[in-house]
Amino acid sequence: MAAPVAEMALALMLTLIRRLPDYAAEMRAGVVRTNEYVSCGETVRGRKVGLIGFGRIGRAFARLVEPLGLELLVTDPCCTAETVAAHRGKLLGLDELLSSCSVVVLAAGLTPETRNLLDKRRLGLMPDGAYLINVARGGLVDMDALLSELRAGRIKAALDVTDPLEPLPPDHELRQIPNALLTPHIAAGGIEMRRAIGAVAVEEVVRFCKGEQLENVVTRDMLAMMT
């Protein structure tokens, strides 16, 4: 499931940076732009992109963005600098990463230690105009603190996950904030992935029935931490 989630993170990042929702809304509204119009959308090349969590999803994301000419900064207490460097990244502490990067992607698991990892103080470290992408777990972010930042228009966010309400109620304020791009927890979705999950499940059942060693064991503790 790592690959489609990493793809979603990349898609959301590009969507925000290139301001695609704004231009799509203009086209629906009948706005006419002349050839002299200069796009206000930004580009990825040369940016510092921060990645919080360097498990399977984080590493898949690193592989996807390697050709884009950006600088990848990573924070993960379970990783070494050598492991990150092998993926063309640089390992930093969380606070330094947040204050250095114009894009921050969340790909960490949710544990008691990581709940509300991005609280009011840490969100405040992000530069003005920064982008926050969350394809992991909503509980990694203090949603009240994030709402405050979004209301102020200081940062933009693309969220595939929310907390504690998921799905969000139809009248939730977050649905109406123009600098928040929301998707309904579908990063790991897709027909191909559903088929692959089904095939893996069937293969495991067959192994179990034959008394063979299982290949995809997930314990309760692992499940609680998985993104």
Active site residues: 137, 166, 185
Reference 15, options 171, 149, 133, 174; nearest CA is 133
Q: Using CA atoms, how far apart are residues 188 and 175, in angstroms rounded to an integer?
A: 21
Q: Across the strands, what pairs with 180?
A: 157
Structure tokens at 35: 């050839």
Structure tokens at 215: 């290949």
> How far is residue 183's CA from residue 161's CA, in Å, rounded to a whole number?
8
SS3 call for 140:
helix
DSSP-derived secondary structure letter, 160: S
Element holding 159 (H helix, E strand): strand 156-159
Residue 48: its H or E element: strand 48-52
Longest alpha-carbon distance in the chain:
69
Q: Where are the alpha helices (DSSP H) in the chain?
A: 2-17, 20-28, 56-65, 81-85, 94-100, 120-125, 143-151, 191-209, 220-225
